[in-house]
Structure 1
Amino acid sequence: MKFRYQQAFRACILLAFSAMIFSLHWTGDIKKLINPKYNHLSIVAAMLFFILFLVQVTRILSLKKESHCQHCCSSHDHGDSAFTTKKYFSYTIIIIPILTGFLMPAQILGSTIADKKGGVMMLTNQQQMKIEDYVTSNQPIVDNIYDHEPDPALLDGRKEMKENEYELLRTELSKKEKITMTEEDYIIYYDEINNNIAQHIGKRIQLNGFVLKEKEFAEDQLVISRFFVTHCIADANIVGFLSEFPEAASLDEDTWIEAMGTIDVTEFDGALLPVIKIEQWVKIQEPETPYLYPIDVWITS
């Protein structure tokens, strides 16, 4: 009977991956990493890793010592060959995510990540019409927030929305004098306000988010920001509104606030952006689910 150490090590790796994913679900940290739509897929992945671990366990012990394999190519590795630089490198690449998963706690994205992703530049890039075009045409700005079609995903607490319901929300927005940016409707309203700024100037708006600042901002300016996650935090984008109020300078980045104000328009870096003239605001606790997700819109005939 021979004990194969490398096969045992591989079994430990598979078990560690399975345990790490299950642990993220057990602690609830999984919601800090992926869109809730994919929770069931990550559980399936954890189960598959565990099944592969069970299969791998059967390879740890062999009944006899084989000097070579007669029925396969000479490069085939049964887990008995000596460690090489290539093997060390391969195992290191695999082990690093396991160690980071267990040793580094999952964190909610904040201003530091926003800066690395481009910060407010992501907002200005959403507006392609220059201010001179707007002044000349006096027409609402028409532009897409994202450079791809919306990717269906689950909104926390709202699994689906029919196409006519989606269009109704967009239509009703133009009639509202006060806009409340709820978790369910945030992305729909955000899209409409940015695409049609002129139609919403003067309306009151209530929203919440974390504080994001840029060195180009005036002392009374900041962005009330949220992260929009399509699949996982790797594809997270910043959404939010440039806001102005005297106390902005006293607020630290990543502070969560809820604010009420009036929609106006301003120019930033050659693009027109909606700006919120804040009238009332208050500090709040970070929400249990701080990210925003795409809405699953069902097309009906």
Structure 2
Amino acid sequence: MFRVVILLMFTYLFFYLHMSGNISKYINMKYSFLTNSMIYALFFLTIVEGIRWYLSEKKSEKDGDCHVCHHDQPHAIKKPALGKSIKRMVSYTMIILPALTGVLLPVATLDSKLVNAKGFQFPALEDGADRYGMHQILNPDMSQFMGKDGFLDLVHKEFKSYKGKEHITLTDEDYLKGLEVIYNFSGEFVGKSITMKGFSYNGPGIDGNQIFLFRFGIIHCIADSGVFGMLIEFPDQVQIPNDQWYQVTGTVDTMYYQPFKMKIPILKVTDYKIIEQPKDAYVYRNSF
């Protein structure tokens, strides 16, 4: 019976995540067909396990009736050992807990607090770290997920769709792709106009008229998520709190950023406005 309940709970968990839209906070939605398939698979397994449990109960009742017919006193039912019962209870609790928390606890949208918690630094500076386990900052670097030759072919191919444009708008659909092109060919975009939106973050080593504009992005799933965006510079001194959402338009330039010890693109703002947080605050890598 416990197996039926567990399978039913996980079926409901995946169904709830899809119906509420919260599944997009865990995976890149290009893989949503996998979790959709999981709903049907779990529901089917729930039915199968339910039938098995029902037949088992009927068999136990039949065996019990046979014992009563052939003996004056029924045999005592042997109870499982206490240690085995405790182990089973702990195992079921550990399995059920993720399903309960997934439904009952609210799903938080990642913000600047996570940037502070992870640390603000480029993966390239994390000597000796496992490159597949690192978080990413600013530049969505797909070279971590594919071979060097494949990455170079990809980024040059994507560069062609932006080459020659005087103004580029980074939409939710091409935000990560566009940023990666800009970071890899920053010299080609100097003087070009870009419009983008994101939440503010007061990073280290910036002037009083500068701030980072970020979006949390998911490459495959939440495990490889990163915070991506650009350093932006206002004409005058500004005091902007973290997590304020803006849409900005500006001109691309480059600067040497001391904390990263490297040159990065910077967007010199010509127009900006405060906006509401989008319904889906995350962006996804939709092309490889």
Q: 2:233 aligns with which of 228, 244, 248?
A: 244
Task: Return the alpha-carbon distance in structure 2 between the equivalents of residues 55 and 81 of structure 1.
Answer: 28
Task: Return the alpha-carbon distance in structure 1 between the equivalents of residues 224 and 154 of structure 2.
Answer: 27
5+ residue gaps, structure 1, are 1-7, 68-78, 129-142, 152-163
Shift of 1:169: 5.2
Task: Return the alpha-carbon distance in structure 2 between the equivalents of residues 144 and 31 of structure 1.
Answer: 18
Shift of 1:86: 3.1
Number of equivalent positions: 250
CA distance change for structure 1 residues 80 and 43 in 2, over 3 Å: closer, same or farther? farther
What SS class does the counterpart of residue 107 from structure 1 fall into?
coil
Which protein is bigger by CA-based radius of gyration? 2
Equivalent residue, structure 1, for 2:53: 59
1:32 equivalent to 2:21? Answer no
What SS class does the counterpart of residue 177 from structure 2 fall into?
helix
Task: Return the alpha-carbon distance in structure 2 between the equivalents of residues 196 and 34 of structure 1.
Answer: 29
Q: 2:245 aligns with which of 233, 241, 256?
A: 256
Task: Return the alpha-carbon distance in structure 1 between the equivalents of residues 32 and 238 of structure 2.
Answer: 39
Task: Return the alpha-carbon distance in structure 2 between the equivalents of residues 166 and 215 of structure 1.
Answer: 29
CA distance change for structure 1 residues 296 and 214 in 2, over 3 Å: closer, same or farther? closer
1:106 equivalent to 2:122? Answer no
Task: Return the alpha-carbon distance in structure 2 between the equivalents of residues 250 and 263 of structure 1.
Answer: 22
Equivalent residue, structure 2, for 1:90: 91
Q: 2:8 aligns with which of 15, 19, 22?
A: 15
The one-letter amino acid paired with 2:104 is: L
Equivalent residue, structure 1, for 2:276: 285
Task: Return the alpha-carbon distance in structure 1 between the equivalents of residues 141 and 286 of structure 2.
Answer: 14
The one-letter amino acid paired with 1:63 is: K
The equivalences for 1:144-293 within 5 A come to 145-149=141-145, 170-245=159-234, 249-268=238-257, 269=259, 270-293=261-284
Shift of 1:225: 0.7
The structure showing larger relative contact order (alpha-carbon pairs under 8 Å, at least 6 residues apart) is 1
More helix by share: 2
Task: Return the alpha-carbon distance in structure 1 between the equivalents of residues 101 and 142 of structure 2.
Answer: 31
Conserved? CA contact 1:111–1:254, under 8 Å: yes
Shift of 1:296: 3.3
Task: Return the alpha-carbon distance in structure 2 between the equivalents of residues 262 and 204 of structure 1.
Answer: 5
Conserved? CA contact 1:126–1:145, under 8 Å: no
Task: Return the alpha-carbon distance in structure 2 between the equivalents of residues 226 and 59 of structure 1.
Answer: 48
What SS class does the counterpart of residue 18 from structure 2 fall into?
helix
CA distance change for structure 1 residues 148 and 53 in 2, over 3 Å: closer, same or farther? same
CA distance change for structure 1 residues 284 and 127 in 2, over 3 Å: closer, same or farther? farther
**What is the Cα-based RMSD across aligned positions, in Å?**
3.2
What SS class does the counterpart of residue 280 from structure 1 fall into?
strand
Deviations 1:204-252 (A, max 9, x none): 2111111122244333322111122122222211111011226775322
Task: Tell me the TM-score normalised to structure 1 length.
Answer: 0.72
What SS class does the counterpart of residue 253 from structure 1 fall into?
coil
5+ residue gaps, structure 2, are 65-78, 127-138, 148-152
Task: Return the alpha-carbon distance in structure 1 between the equivalents of residues 35 and 168 of structure 2.
Answer: 36
Deviates more, 1:19-28 or 1:195-204: 195-204
Conserved? CA contact 1:212–1:223, under 8 Å: yes
Conserved? CA contact 2:155–2:181, under 8 Å: no
Conserved? CA contact 1:126–1:144, under 8 Å: no
Deviations 1:160-214 (A, max 9, x none): xxxx998665225231222221233322321121112222222221111111222
What SS class does the counterpart of residue 252 from structure 1 fall into?
coil
Task: Return the alpha-carbon distance in structure 1 between the equivalents of residues 146 and 285 of structure 2.
Answer: 7
Shift of 1:102: 1.3
Task: Tell me the TM-score normalised to structure 2 length.
Answer: 0.75
CA distance change for structure 1 residues 150 and 239 in 2, over 3 Å: closer, same or farther? farther
